[in-house]
Amino acid sequence: MMISIVIPVFNEEENIQPLIEELVAVAAHTPISEIIYIDDASTDKTASILKEMQKTVPALRVVRHPIRAGQSAAFMSGVRAAGNSVVVLMDGDRQNDPQDIIQLYEEYQQSSKSYPKVMVVGRRHKRQDTMMRKLSSRWANGIRSWFLKDHISDTGCSLKLIRREDYLRLPYFNHMHRFLPALLIRDHVHVVEVDVSHRARVAGKSKYGFWNRVWVGIVDLIGVKWLLNRGLPKGFTTQEQL
């Protein structure tokens, strides 16, 4: 089993090289064979830095969007481009620690002994964010968990490990990345959380604000709830009548 790392970025020129260097170090201890960056039409030096680093990092692949399409579209582009059966999703702002990929991988191996389909999601420990961001995230996670019954405490953590085929089976829509655990539980995937580190952002700027998360999230919750209520029953299969 080999792993593809999928990282969407928009204007993260200062974070590209340090994060790739960290990932290359982690790849020495895990079966990571490719690092896929999805450049969501950045307007800074992100594209040129990625192109330059491809000269020295053979595992680095770059997918570029001609227009800005958002994080969900970028994740989907990366997973579609991935050449391995397992993918790790993560942010490109360096707040996710690449070292945590090791424990996600170990948990996946362990859980796969008991479940045919597994997703491992990070749960940020000691978040390095502003108080407003922490409170809004806690509020949003509580509302989402109660409404969708996914029992996941931190779906906002981008660090996730999942089988590529399970991801590609999901219905695609904008902002879907915020609801991956609930959508996969609908498809009878076993979802397990593990504590991961959370680092302060030292370069670049966040692409999300409080209000755009809240209002978009409310609308999306209603749509996702509709989808969850229309999932197929567990064990459903089709057989051709002979």
In this prediction, residue 154 carries a pLDDT of: 73
**Per-residue pLDDT at 58:** 97
Provide the pLDDT for residue 132.
Answer: 58
Segment 96-105, tens digit of pLDDT: 999 999 999 9
Q: How far apart are CA 44 and CA 14, in angstroms?
A: 10
Q: Pick 176 or 214 by higher pLDDT.
A: 176
Residue 214: C-alpha distances to residues 70, 74, 76, 218, 235 (Å): 17, 21, 23, 6, 36
84 or 1, which is more confident: 84
Instruction: Give all domains of the chain, ordered by start, each with its CATH number.
Output: 3-228 (3.90.550.10)
Q: What is the pLDDT of residues 122-170, one digit of tens each?
A: 998 766 555 556 555 665 665 656 556 677 777 788 999 999 999 999 9
Residues 8-58: tens digit of each pLDDT: 999 999 999 999 999 999 999 999 999 999 999 999 999 999 999 999 999
